[in-house]
Amino acid sequence: MVSTLFPSAFFFFFFFFFVCSPISLFFCNASAALLESLPTLSFEEGYTQLFGGGNLILLRDGKRVRISLDERTGAGFASQDLYLHGFFSASIKLPADYAAGVVVAFYMSNGDVFPKTHDELDFEFLGNIRGREWRVQTNVYGNGSTAVGREERYELWFDPTEDFHRYSILWNHKRIIFYIDDIPIRETARSEAMRGCFPSKPMSLYSTIWDASGWATSGGRYKVNYRYAPYVAEFQDLVIHGCAVNPMDHSSACERPSAATYGSSTMSPEQRAQMDGVRRKHMTYYYCYDRDRYPIPPAECKTDQIETRQYYGPDGVRYGGHRRRRRGGRRNRSSVAQADAAQ
């Protein structure tokens, strides 16, 4: 089933894609106001349950979704449609207290449709032992390129268990931008260097909570302790503003020539300075600086050798504090996760 946009939603869809060029909320002067005005969906309007049975509960007329992990199962839900480009967002509140081994994910993927050449855009939230913070990491896969993990990991500048915070993904044919509370934290631009590794096929949107004891906290040293279960994550302010495609032939009205405007915008100097500040202060792992893993950095990396020597170790982890945690991708973690064990 391909979603149709009701009139108010259509106005914002048109404004973002064809006036602001593209939908990114930071790429036009009225961005903040438009973000607040974007229509949110109830669960029934845009999502379907993936797994978890009674571990998924709808609240506030379906405007809030509660998913939990216990000794029986985790839980998850997904968009009803596949999308080719768009803006996708949710406000999320993470489990409190001891949460080692727990992963909450908000991501896009088409692995069920293209198992050998799948694309993926990840927000993954990694639980920790009591007294240590949740971490968030982003990743980008294209065309089945899981052998090259493009992970970036960040410490959060707030407690994600006390209140809801907004996490968003902008994806168009030229760039991908990840946001936290409407602040851009990462941009991945399509380039000749990336070649087919830039996500280019329709994807679904997923939200899950699951047991990742084998790698999520200190390389698997600390595992989920079900004495603290259930681990509860809540999602609200659900936004899907994108190009829904026909599930049979993947055609979309957004594929018309005028859709080329999606990738024509750039961040303003103020927005880029904001992103650079977050990355400078809060990024704790950068795959481009991981010389142990990539003696020759992936082709798209433009590394600052001075910064590498001053601030990052040969494993790509930023010096300082106890924040030395890494991963090796949802499916290929072996070499990267080992660094966590030294924590």
Instruction: Assign 11 to helix, strand or coil.
Output: helix
Catalytic residues: 120, 124
| Distance, CA of 241 to CA of 266 (rounded, Å) | 19
Determine phi and psi for 16, rounding to 5 degrees.
-65, -45
Residue 304 tokens read as: 């600052």
Q: How many Å from the N-terminal Cα to the C-terminal Cα in the chain?
A: 47
Neighbours of 249 (CB within 10 A): 7
Q: Are strands 165-171 and 175-180 parallel, antiparallel or unpaired?
A: antiparallel
The answer to whether 101 and 223 have CB atoms below 8 angstroms apart is yes
CA angle 28–25–7, rounded 5-degree value: 100
Nearest to 45, CA basis, from 86, 85, 3, 9: 3
In the block, tokens 């000794």 appear at 71
Scan for tokens 């409190």, then name that residue.
Answer: 96
List, edge to edge, every strand of the sheet that includes 231-244.
Answer: 56-59, 64-69, 231-244, 83-93, 165-171, 175-180, 183-189
